[in-house]
Copies of this chain bind each other. A is one copy, B any other.
Amino acid sequence: MIASEIETPAAVVDLARLEANIVRFQKYLDKHGIVNRPHIKTHKIPEIAHMQLTQGAAGITCQKLGEAEVMVQAGIRDILVPYNILGVQKLNRLIRLAKRALISVTADSSVTVLGLSAAAHENGVHIPVLVEFDTGLKRCGVETPQLAAELATLVESSPGLQFAGLMTYPMNENTGPFVEEVRKLVEPKGMEVACVSVGGTHCMWEAHQHREVTEYRAGMYVYGDRYTLESGAMTLEQCSFSIRSTVVSRPSQERGILDAGSKSLSSDLLGLEGHGLILEYPEAQIYGLSEEHGHVEFSRCDSKPEIGEVVTILPNHCCVANNLFNEVIGVRDGQVEVVWPVQARGAVL
A75 to chain B, nearest CB (A): 23
Choose one: B109, B139, B292, B307; the contact of A290 (CB below 8 Å): B139
- A276-304 near B? 1/0 per residue, CB < 8 Å: 00000000000010111101000000000
- A85-120 near B? 1/0 per residue, CB < 8 Å: 011011000000000000000001101100000000
| Residues of A contacting B: mostly | loop
Task: Point out the residues of chain B lying under 8 angstroms from A109, CB to CB.
Answer: 249-250, 307
- A238-249 near B? 1/0 per residue, CB < 8 Å: 000000001011
- A259-282 near B? 1/0 per residue, CB < 8 Å: 110111011110000000000000
Task: Point out the residues of chain B lying under 8 angstroms from A325, CB to CB.
Answer: 346, 348
A82 to chain B, nearest CB (A): 10
Task: Point out the residues of chain B lying under 8 angstroms from A292, CB to CB.
Answer: 41, 63-64, 83, 348
A312 at the A/B interface (Cβ < 8 Å)? no
How many A residues touch the partner, as a band? Answer: 35 or more
B349 touches A251 (CB 8 A): no
A138 touches B249 (CB 8 A): no
Q: Kindly report which residue of chain B lies nearest to residue A309, judged by CB atoms.
A: B86
A307 to B8, CA, bound (A): 43
> In chain A, residues 1-51, which have Cβ atoms closer than 8 Å to a Cβ of chain B?
5, 7-10, 41
